[in-house]
Amino acid sequence: MIYRPQAKRVKEHKNLMASMGKGDEVLTGGGLVGKITKISEDNDFIVIALSANNEVTIKKDFVTAVLPKGTIQSL
């Protein structure tokens, strides 16, 4: 009963991580919003540009949502 919904969320999150690409705007678990500038396939890290001067390296697992294009401009 409890296993099925959790397995569904895990599967959806794996599909989300696999579908991320350079230029996508993402929201992290910590509340950061940024644009993906680099994806490292071998060790599951991505680089997110928070602004023109700030970049952060995080694990792919911490991305909670891929936002529609133009979301950062509207904030």
Does pLDDT of 16 surpass 80? yes
Q: Tell me, yes or no, if the pTM score tops 0.85.
A: no
Considering only residues 33 and 13, tell me which one the structure prediction assigns the higher pLDDT: 33
Question: How far apart (Å, rounded) are the C-alpha atoms in residues 26 and 35?
Answer: 6
pLDDT of residue 4: 84
Instruction: Please give the full DSSP string across 6-31, using - where no structure is assigned.
Output: HHHHHHHHHHHHHH--TT-EEEETTS
The boundaries of the domain holding residue 67 are 3-74
The total number of structural domains that make up the chain:
1
Distance from C-alpha of 12 to C-alpha of 9, rounded to nearest angstrom: 5
CATH number, domain containing residue 9 = 2.30.30
Say what the pLDDT of residue 1 is.
60
